[in-house]
Amino acid sequence: MAIYYLSTPISEDDIRALHVGDTVYLSGVIVTGRDAAHKYMVETFIRAAEVPEGERPLYEELKRLLKGSAIYHCGPVVRQREDGRWEFVAAGPTTSIREEPYQADVIAHFGLRGVIGKGGMGARTLRACQEYGAAYLHAVGGAATLIADTVKEVLAVYKKDEFGVPEAFWVIRVENLPLVVTMDSHGRSIHEEVRTVSEENLRRLL
């Protein structure tokens, strides 16, 4: 198990060097996105016959922001300063499995290198990590305030009025966000391995 310091945009080679159990300190620009954001990206952009004209500017911006970067499954607590700028008060990860119906498509379409959250994801996302060169990076649950300390700047927010604060796309610059690789581009998922061992132990007990 090794320690890596990575900055966005992340290369495919850097991601494929990671293995389950490695620690990553991530810096650079990333984007938050939860249920509403993923559903929106898939239905409006990825599976649509044509991107609606009014949504094209955000589509182009998300393509620019997400390519080689990471999406963070996070519903932050934020506050607005007197100068109008936003800052994160709490930034803990949300449960990632809810994004399983969408995540593989988002990885493929936008060129994501990292998916950040908690609890792991399923087989379809793992296959996308293998095929496109991405990794699932586990953030520590219960450390929302400490994670917020790594958010050095809120650069932009999109869809806040439509989706609400927790579900909006928050574009943030992080510095040494601590993460652990729990699904890598080589087909390993610690979440699946733990589930398999637990089921075997349960069968023996019964």
**Residues belonging to the active site:** 38
Query: Using omega within 30 degrees of 0 as the cis cutoff, is the peptide bond preceding 9 cis?
Result: yes
Q: Provide Rg for the chain, Cα atoms.
A: 17
**Three-state SS for 91?**
coil
Joined together, the tokens standing for residue 92 give 């803990």
Q: How far apart are CA 174 and CA 138, in angstroms?
A: 15
Q: How far apart are CA 206 and CA 202, in angstroms?
A: 6
50 class by beta-carbon count within 10 Å (0-12 exposed, 13-18 middle, 19+ buried)? exposed
| Secondary structure element (H or E) that encloses residue 114, with its range | strand 114-117
Q: How far apart are CA 45 and CA 50, in angstroms?
A: 7
Q: How far apart are CA 88 and CA 194, in angstroms?
A: 33
Joined together, the tokens standing for residue 148 give 């917020």
